[in-house]
Chains A and B, each alone.
Chain A
């Protein structure tokens, strides 16, 4: 659909939206995969650990049971895998199957 509206700003004012840099999931060469049998909150069935949520620079991890990572925007930095005390998250090459 072609929108024929004009930019009426007389000075540059940008509005918030997801994906300013596009689908940053495309930046990855490795993606995080969670083994929920090792994920402490999943095992304990209550809020615990969630250090992956804490340390994610993008805020794309949802602290839910089971854990959810937004792979559309996850840049694959690997901090979550590195910091997970239960070694539940591993980084897997894009193009390979999970785990």
Chain B
């Protein structure tokens, strides 16, 4: 009999780390992530999780600790939000380049200036170029399940994984979560085999300077220059798509829950108006889609689950029969448009898919996003498209822009 409890997203995250038998945790508290660190401290000090918690003095150090601990073969975990994620930015790049299977939760919160403690996705979106796999969860069940899958994925492709979920909206909201059975998780997660060798048995210097050009070693092997080493990271990300999908499928087989692999779809078979989003805004959009359908508009939702590696093929397939798209994003690439919007548009390049695509920036700094607002936006887009407006400038939803 599966155990179902109601719990917050942060509790789900801490339990996900516990079930994954992480060995080293290094984290610094920040709103709204704090209770993850507190719960893990409780689990570790109480003896329920056999791990070491390094109470680092900053987020930059948190990821530094994870990097070196992972290098010597320990399974590691950290979590942060917003300013904390930004503070560790150089380490985020480092972890990917070092090819370490670190799993980190990003509890999405907007970034300063000015200050906000509330939810948007600017923090994790701003990390999209670093080489991490990024997964956006739509509910608390998906958090615990995705963390477990993340270790499986990370440790087979040697790329770090960021599990993102919306601050307060999910981190502090209670939802029913079925806790995966511990033994089944142990079966699902083989032990971590590091590719890095840092041992007196075979002394090596890890992550030194690489020249711009390739350079022979004493045995005559032409070894990588910086560019080759970085190409390998890109290649790993390209190849990770198959691993992500098979991990998702195998998880579904073992635990009975399928969160959709790269993306999930809701009532898209006959949909003409597609609503798109990541995380909780996408699950909110399913309610909006139902509202629109009750008004005679065939609406569907495409929830992007994996933002990196970007699911180009999956996006092309999902939108092939769509007539219009509204992309709702809790972030913007300032100076242009929403990052998700740009990337979806780019996915259609060199295909025969020609779609009106409308971009809505919503929910910044925790502004509430209601299903009816999403539905209204989709309706107004539909009207605008009928009048010939294929690509208006991004609209800021429910924001005074006068």
Contacts and interface: CB of A to CB of B under 8 A. Distances in A.
A13 B207 CA distance: 6
Chain A binding site: helix, strand, loop or mixed by DSSP? loop
Contact of A14 (B98, B100, B208, B222): B208
Chain B binding site: helix, strand, loop or mixed by DSSP? loop
Nearest to B209: A12
Contacts of B93: none
Contact of B204 (A5, A6, A15): A15
Interface in A29-68: none
Interface residues of A, number: 15
Contacts of B224: 7, 9, 12
A13 B196 contact: yes
Nearest to B235: A10
Interface residues of B, number: 28
A95 interface: no
B204 to A, nearest CB: 4
A12 B99 CA distance: 10
B229 A13 contact: no
A7 B236 CA distance: 15
22 contacts: A2-B220, A3-B219, A3-B222, A5-B219, A7-B223, A7-B224, A10-B99, A10-B158, A10-B195, A10-B232, A11-B100, A11-B196, A11-B206, A11-B229, A12-B207, A12-B229, A13-B204, A13-B206, A16-B204, A16-B205, A17-B217, A17-B218
Given A11-B196, A15-B217, 16 more contacts: A2-B220, A3-B221, A5-B219, A5-B221, A7-B222, A7-B223, A7-B224, A9-B224, A10-B99, A11-B97, A11-B206, A12-B206, A12-B210, A13-B197, A13-B204, A16-B203
Interface of B: 97-100, 158, 195-197, 203-208, 210, 214, 217-224, 228-229, 232, 236
